[in-house]
Amino acid sequence: GAGVSQTPSNKVTEKGKYVELRCDPISGHTALYWYRQSLGQGPEFLIYFQGTGAADDSGLPNDRFFAVRPEGSVSTLKIQRTERGDSAVYLCASSSSPGDTQYFGPGTRLTVL
């Protein structure tokens, strides 16, 4: 079946702009996770959704970052007033229920100029 998909695959923006990154989880998966991966490092947790609600947002670096999952399926990660330090690969994962194996999408590479 279809895996986790993320769009766009690449996003180039200018410092100060607003961006939205989209994640389509595996159909039927109730849990959704966002991670960020900087060059040469392992992924770092950002936020976890169970259904429509954010169950753990402890990894969001500051209030410029926000994520939603209004219908419990697709999720959007929103970044306001982007900074060059936000450049990274943003990964999304989903699992059939909380704590089950997480399956990752291919990621969105964000470049802030």
Partner 1 sequence: DAKTTQPTSMDCAEGRAANLPCNHSTISGNEYVYWYRQIHSQGPQYIIHGLKNNETNEMASLIITEDRKSSTLILPHATLRDTAVYYCIVRVEPRAAGNKLTFGGGTRVLVKP
- Residues of this chain that bind partner 1 (CB under 8 A): 4, 31, 33, 35, 41-45, 48, 55-56, 59, 91, 93, 95, 98-107
Nearer to partner 1, 51 or 59 (CB): 59
Nearer to partner 1, 35 or 65 (CB): 35
Nearer to partner 1, 66 or 104 (CB): 104
Q: How far apart are CA 62 and CA 91, in angstroms?
A: 18
In angstroms, what is the minimal distance from the CB of 105 to partner 1? 5
Q: How far apart are CA 95 and CA 15, in angstroms?
A: 33
In angstroms, what is the minimal distance from the CB of 78 to partner 1? 20
- Residue 18 half-sphere exposure, CB side, CA atoms within 13 Å? 5
Residue with tokens 């994640």: 23
Pairing assessment for the beta strands 53-56 and 65-68 based on DSSP bridges: unpaired
In angstroms, what is the minimal distance from the CB of 101 to partner 1? 5
Q: How far is CA 80 from CA 8, 65, 67, 113, in A?
A: 17, 7, 11, 14
In angstroms, what is the minimal distance from the CB of 22 to partner 1? 15
